[in-house]
Structure 1
Amino acid sequence: MGVTRFLNALLHPARPGLEQGREQPSRERSDQLSERVRRMLVTTLYAQPSSLAIGALATVSAAGVSAWIAGLPELWVAAVILGMIAVARVVAALGLSPDSEGNSTATLEMVYEVGAFSYALALGCTAAFTILVGTNAEVVVLMVANALGYGIGVSARNAGRLTIAIGQLALSCVPIALACFWVGSIGFIALGFTILLLIPAMISIATNIFKVLRDSIAAAETSKKLADKMQILARTDVVTGLANRAGLNHAMVETMMAVEDDTCLALFWIDLDRFKEVNDLLGHPVGDRVLNEVAKRLRSVSPEGATVARFGGDEFIVFCPITGRKDAERLASEVHAEIMRPFRIDGERLEVRASLGVAMLPEHGRDADTLMQSADLALYHAKVGGRSQTCFYDSAMSRDLVRRREIEDELRSALQRDELSIFFQPIVDLETGRIKTFEALVRWFHPEKGELRPDEFIPVAEETGVIVTLGNWITAQAARVAASWPEEVTVAVNLSPLQIRAPGAALGIKNALREAGLDPRRLELEVTESLFIEDNHATASFIEELSEIGVRFALDDFGTGYSSLGYINKFPFSKIKVDRSFVSGTQVGRKSDAIIRAVAEMGNTLGMDIVAEGLETIEQVQAVKDAGCNLGQGYYFSRAVPDYLAAMLLAQEREQEGRKALG
C-alpha cells in the first residue's frame, strides 16, 4: 500500500499555499467514489483470470527460454520466482470471489496489488539484468519485449484501479530504462529515453480509460438508484405510503413463489362503508387523513411479513401468512375493532365502519388472481349482506357469480328478442271496489328455463346497469297499454334509483309518454326510500322536471327503510304505499296496526292516497280500511295479469256498473 501512496503523490503533487488548500478538497471530491462503485472497479481486476494465466505463461516461458539460451543460473532463479508469483496470483484470482460479501473491497484490492507489483517488479528487474550482464542480443530482446509488452498491456487491463495500472507499468519499465542508462551506449540510451516517453503516454491512455470506466459505472449507478427510486414510487400509494395496486401484485407474486407448499396465506379485502359521505361532507383533505389513519391502524394489527396495500379509493388489502381459519377470523376481528375506533380529526369525532372479504391460500386459490377474485366475491357478499361484517369466500359464491353473468347476458338478449312481458296488478278503491290504477310488473318467460322470478334478474340488472334500458322499456310498454284504458285509470311504474340518476332519465320518460300518447297525469312513478339516502341533485331535478308536466310520484315500501318524513315534506308525493309486512307479515299485530293508522292519518291530512299492499283476505281488507287506507292491492283482488286480461277486468267493471245503473 506504500507504493500506492507514493504513486498518488507522484500523480497529484501538492501545491504550496492557498492554491493547495483550494484544489485538494476539490480533487478529493471529484475522485471520491462510493464504496459500491469502487467495488465494481476492483471487480474488473478479477475479471477473466484466464488472461492472467496466459500472460504469466508467456513471460515465464520467455524467462525460461532466456535462461536456457544464456546459461545463466540467475535467469533460472528469475524464471522460478516469476512462476511462483504467477501461480499465486492465479490461485488468488480464482479463490477470492468479488461476488462474495465476505471479501472486503480493501482485501481484494490489497491482495491483487501485492501480486501485481511483485510480478511487475520481478519481470522488469529480470529484463534489466539481461541488459546489464551483456548476454546474447536475442535474450535481451526477448526479455525486454516481454517486460515492455506486459507493462503496456496490463496498464490498459487494470485501468479500473489507476494506481495499480500505473504501478505495474512503472515497475516493469523503469528498471529497464535505468539499466539502459547504466550501460551508456547510444542505442541503449535511446531505448531508455523511448521507454521513459512511453510511460507518460501509457499513463495518459490508462487515465482516459479509467475516467471513462469510472464515469460509466457512476452513471450506471446513478441510473440504477433513480430507477430503484422510481420503482418504489410506482409501487407506493402517495396518500397513505402503503403499497399500491402494482406494489401489491409484486409482493403477492414474490411471496407466493417463496412459500412452502403447506404454508397458509390469507387475503383480507377491506372496504370502508359509506366513505364517500366523509369526502362529501368534510372534504377530501379530511378524507385523506382518515385514509392515513386507517393505514396506520392496519399496519399496527397486521402480523410480521404482511403486505398492507391501498387498492384504490377506500379499499385496502392485507396479505399475510396465517396458521389457519381461526387465525384469519381473529385477525379480521382485530381489523374491525381497529377501524371502528372513533377518529379525532380537527376536533371532529368520526366513526368509520368496514366490510371485509377474506380468501385463503391454498383453500380458495393457488395463484394471486384467483385469490383476489375469491376475496372480491366475499367482499361483495359482505356488503350485500348488510355491510360492516366479514364474509369468507365459499364456492357457492362463484356459482352465484356465474349465474348472475348468465342472467346479465341473457337479459340483454331477451330485451332484443321480446322475451319480456308486462303484467298489470290492479290497485283498488277500498270504498267503491273500482280499479283506480294498474301497477306494471315485468315478467320474463325464458324459452328454455321457463319463467324467471323478478327477484332473480332485477338485482342483476341493477348491479350491471341493464336496469336503465330495462326500466325505459317497461315505462314505454306500460304507457302504450295504458293509453287504451279509460281516462280515470292510471298506470304505476317502479323506478330504480340507478335509472333515475342516469343522464337523460326525465327525457326518456317524456319520450315514452309522447310516443304512447298518454296524458302525463295518468302516469305514477313509484320510488323507494333508498333513493334518498344520498342527497343527490339529479334525483331532485328528475322529480321536479316530471312533476311540472303532471307526472305523479308514489313512495313505495314505506316503513321498511329510513322512513324519514323529510322526504314527504320535500318531494311532491301523491301516494304512499304501506309495505306488505305491516299487512300480512309475521309481525302483524297491534303495533303494525297502529303504524298503519298513523300513516293513514298523516296521508289523509296531507291529501295523499294510502295504499295497503299484500292484501290476501277479506279480514285484512277490512282491517286496513278501518285503519284509514283508501286503496288496496293484493291477491284478494287479483294477481298480476297480461294486458288483455287487464282490459277484460276494466270491461267487466264497466259492464257491472252498467247493469247497476239499469237495475
Structure 2
Amino acid sequence: MGSSRNQCIFKSSKLLQGRHEEDAVDQKVRRTLVTTLYASPLSLVVGAITTVGAAAVAAWVSEMSALWVAAVILASVAAVRIIAALGLSPDAEDNSTTMLELVYEIGAFSFALALGSTAAYTIVFDAPSQIQVLMVANALGYGIGVSARNAGRPTIAIGQLTFSCLPIAIACLLSSQVGLITLGLTIILLIPAQSVISRNIFGILRSFIASANANADLAQEMQELARSDVVTGLANRAGLNHAVTETMTKIDADTNLALIWIDLDRFKEVNDLLGHPVGDKVLKGVAERLVEVSPEGSTVARFGGDEFIVFCPVADLKHAELIASEIHCEIMCPMRLDGELLEIRASLGVAILPDNAEDADQLMQRADLALYHAKVGGRSQTCFYDPSMSRDLVRRREIEAELRTAIQRDELSIFFQPIVDLETGRIKCFEALVRWFHPEKGELRPDEFIPVAEETGVIVTLGNWITVQAARIAASWPEDVRVAVNLSPLQIRAPGAALGIKNALREAGLDPHRLELEVTESLFIDDNHSTSAFIEELSALGVRFALDDFGTGYSSLGYINSYPFSKIKVDRSFVSGAQAGQKSEAIIQAVAKMGNTLGMDIVAEGLETPEQVKAVRKAGCNLGQGYHFSRAVPDYLAAMLLAQEREHEPKQAIGRASA
C-alpha cells in the first residue's frame, strides 16, 4: 500500500511538473505571438489611411452626412490604436501579456465594427453603387487581410473578420435584391472558411515558435554547460572568459576590479593518497567556501586542476587585501571529509585593474605572475602584483634563452672545489661547479641562472652536460680522487636519467665508484618511484650518493636509512653562518656521531678559518670544504693541486698544522 501510494504521488508530481512546463511554454509562445501584433505599427497607419480615406471619399461623393460621422469615428479609433501601439512596448516586463492583448483587442474590434457598419450603412440606405462597392470592398479586404496578419491570436483575427464582414452580410440578406442576398450568403460562408485558415496559420506559427523557444532553451542550457565546471558547478575557463568580457564592456573607466588567482598547495598528494573521489570533494568544498566568502557581483571560477579564480569589483587596494585575506583564511580552515580532517593550504596571486593592468588579458597574466612569486616564495601566502615581477620575468626569459645558447656554444665552464680529509690534509674529492662567463655581461653567478634553469627545465640539459664534462676531466686524476656532481630533482625524474649518467661514465672511461652524485633533501618531499629507481640502479653500478645541505630542508632520518648514502654534507649555515654557535656545534656532533655509526663520511661545508676547521674536526667531521682550503678552480688548477699534493706529501695533519 505504502509503495503504491508513493508511486501515485510520484506520478502525480511528475504530471503536475509536466503541466507546469507546458504552461510555461504556452506563456512564452503566447507572449511571442502577442508581440507580433505590435510588430509593425506602420501597417496600422496604412490601414487607417486607406479606410478613413475611403469613408471620407464616400461621404463627399454621396453627400451623406452619416458617412462623415463614420469617417470621424474611424479616424478617432485608428488614432487611439496607433498611439497605443507606439506607446505600449511588448518588450517591457511591466506590460503583461493579458493587458497587451486586451488593449489591442478592444481597438481592433472597435475599428472592425465601425468599418463593417459603415459598409452595411451604404447598402441599407441605398448609397450610389460606386460608394457601396468602395466601402464593401474596403471592409471585406480589411477583414480578410487582418485575419491573416493577426492569425497569431485567432480570437482577435476571427473577431476582426466577423465584425467587419457580418454587418455587410446581414445588410445584404435584408435587401430584396438577389445579387446582394447572394453576396450576403457568400460572406456568411467566407467567415468560417477564413477562420479555418487563420487557425491553421496559428497552429503553424505556434508550433514553429514553440520549437524555436525549445531550441533556444536547449542552446542556452548547452551554453551554460559548456561554461560550467562539471566537478564544482562553478564557471570554467570559458565561463570565466565570458564573464570577464561581459564585465569589461559594462564597467566605467574608474571602476576597480581584482583578479585573485588561487592555487591549492600539494593538492596532488590528496589525489594520490586519498583518491580522486576525495579530491573532487575537496574541490567542491573549496568552491563552496569561495562562493560564500566572495563579495556580491563576483565571478568564481575553477580555472583548471586545483586552480581557482575570483574576479570581483573592489573599492581600492585595501579592499582587495581584505577580500584576499578572507579567502585565504576560509580555504585554510580544516575540512572534514568522510571522517578525515584535512588541512588545505593555498597560494594566492592578486592583480588589480586599472592599477596593474590595462585590459583583462594583462590582468590575468599579472595575477598569474603574482601567484608564481607566492609559490616560489614558500607557498601558503598571498602576493600582490608589483612591477618588479615583470622585470624579473623579462630577466628570467632572457637568461633562459641565453643559457640555452651558452650550452650550445660551450660558453660554460666547470670549476672544481676540493673536499679535504681533515686528518691527513689530502684531497679526497672535487665538487664540480658550473661557471658562466657571458661574452658581454661577464661572469654570471650560479644563483642567477641555476634557479631559472630549474624553473624552465633547462636544468636537465645543463645537468647532463656538467656530468659529462666532470666525468671526462676526473678520468685524468689519480684513481683515489673522486668527483662530486650536484643533481637537480628535475634531472633525476627526467626520462632516461640513469642512462644519461651511465653514458657519461662510459664515454669518459671513469670508474663508477669515483663518481658521487649530490642530492638535496627536497628530492624526497614527493614520494616518487622514479627517484628510488634512479638511486637503486646507479648504486648497484657502484656510483656513490651524498646528501647535500643537510639540516636546511625537510630533514628526516627515514630517507637516510632508506637510501644508500655514503656521505652527508652539513650545510655551511651550521659552520660559518650567522646562527653558528653552541646549538650548531651540538647539531654537528649529533650528525657526525650518527654518520660514523653508519659508516658515512661527514663533510663540513663553508670552512673559512683554522678555528672552524678545528671545531668541526673536534665535533666528529672527517671531511671539510671551503675557502680555507681552496676556492673553486678551473680543471688545470685542480690537476696542479693534485700534482703538488702528490709531489710534496704533507708532513703533518691539518689539525696539527692549524694548532
User: TM-score, structure 1 length as denominator?
Assistant: 0.91
CA contact (8 A) 2:425 2:650 kept: no
Q: Say what the alpha-carbon RMSD is for the aligned residues.
A: 2.3
**SS in structure 2 of the partner of residue 237 of structure 1:** coil
CA contact (8 A) 2:421 2:427 kept: yes
The residue aligned with 2:8 is none
Does residue 636 of structure 1 match 2:615?
Answer: no
- Mapped to 2, the partners of 1:169 and 1:27 lie a distance apart of 33
Does residue 477 of structure 1 match 2:469?
Answer: yes
Does residue 199 of structure 1 match 2:191?
Answer: yes
Shift of 1:456: 0.5
Shift of 1:291: 2.1
**SS in structure 2 of the partner of residue 584 of structure 1:** coil
- Mapped to 1, the partners of 2:20 and 2:550 lie a distance apart of 83
The residue aligned with 1:544 is 536
Does residue 314 of structure 1 match 2:322?
Answer: no
The residue aligned with 1:565 is 557
Does residue 429 of structure 1 match 2:425?
Answer: no
Does residue 69 of structure 1 match 2:61?
Answer: yes
Q: State the AA in 1 paired with 2:525.
A: I
CA contact (8 A) 2:575 2:612 kept: yes
1:269-315 CA distance string (max 9 Å, x none): 22222222222221222222222222222233222223222222222
- Mapped to 2, the partners of 1:27 and 1:121 lie a distance apart of 38
The residue aligned with 1:491 is 483
**SS in structure 1 of the partner of residue 355 of structure 2:** coil
Pairing 1:261-280 to 2, within 5 Å after superposition: 261-280=253-272
Q: State the AA in 2 paired with 1:499.
A: Q
CA 1:27–1:191: 2 relative to 1, 3 Å: farther
Q: State the AA in 2 paired with 1:654.
A: R
CA 1:75–1:332: 2 relative to 1, 3 Å: closer
**SS in structure 2 of the partner of residue 34 of structure 1:** helix
**SS in structure 2 of the partner of residue 548 of structure 1:** helix
The residue aligned with 2:507 is 515
- Mapped to 2, the partners of 1:28 and 1:381 lie a distance apart of 54
Which deviates the most, 64-73 or 436-445?
Answer: 64-73
Pairing 1:16-55 to 2, within 5 Å after superposition: 33-55=25-47
Does residue 252 of structure 1 match 2:257?
Answer: no
Q: State the AA in 2 paired with 1:581.
A: S
Pairing 1:139-218 to 2, within 5 Å after superposition: 139-218=131-210
Q: State the AA in 1 paired with 2:410.
A: D
Shift of 1:105: 1.6
Shift of 1:30: 8.0
Does residue 616 of structure 1 match 2:592?
Answer: no
Which deviates the most, 530-539 or 256-265?
Answer: 256-265
Does residue 290 of structure 1 match 2:282?
Answer: yes
The residue aligned with 1:222 is 214
CA contact (8 A) 2:516 2:543 kept: yes
The residue aligned with 2:74 is 82
Unaligned runs of 5+ in 2: 1-17, 653-659
Pairing 1:369-408 to 2, within 5 Å after superposition: 369-408=361-400
The residue aligned with 1:8 is none
Q: State the AA in 2 paired with 1:198.
A: L
Q: State the AA in 2 paired with 1:447.
A: P
- Mapped to 2, the partners of 1:300 and 1:50 lie a distance apart of 52
1:553-589 CA distance string (max 9 Å, x none): 1111111112211111111111111111111112222
- Mapped to 2, the partners of 1:66 and 1:515 lie a distance apart of 115
The residue aligned with 2:94 is 102
- Mapped to 1, the partners of 2:20 and 2:392 lie a distance apart of 71
Pairing 1:528-543 to 2, within 5 Å after superposition: 528-543=520-535
CA 1:379–1:31: 2 relative to 1, 3 Å: closer
- Mapped to 1, the partners of 2:380 and 2:350 lie a distance apart of 14
Query: How many aligned residue pairs are there?
Result: 635
- Mapped to 2, the partners of 1:562 and 1:102 lie a distance apart of 67
**SS in structure 1 of the partner of residue 225 of structure 2:** helix
Shift of 1:652: 2.0
Q: Aligned match of 1:355 in 347, 359, 381?
A: 347
Task: Percent identity, please.
Answer: 76
**SS in structure 2 of the partner of residue 159 of structure 1:** coil
The residue aligned with 1:648 is 640
Shift of 1:397: 1.1
The residue aligned with 2:85 is 93
- Mapped to 1, the partners of 2:55 and 2:483 lie a distance apart of 115
Q: State the AA in 2 paired with 1:358.
A: V
- Mapped to 2, the partners of 1:99 and 1:61 lie a distance apart of 32
CA contact (8 A) 2:420 2:426 kept: yes
- Mapped to 2, the partners of 1:32 and 1:298 lie a distance apart of 34
Pairing 1:555-594 to 2, within 5 Å after superposition: 555-594=547-586
Shift of 1:659: 12
Shift of 1:117: 0.9
Shift of 1:50: 1.3
The residue aligned with 1:420 is 412
Which deviates the most, 61-70 or 145-154?
Answer: 61-70
- Mapped to 1, the partners of 2:268 and 2:19 lie a distance apart of 59
Q: State the AA in 2 paired with 1:215.
A: S
Q: State the AA in 1 paired with 2:58.
A: S
1:73-92 CA distance string (max 9 Å, x none): 22222222222222221122
- Mapped to 1, the partners of 2:409 and 2:91 lie a distance apart of 71
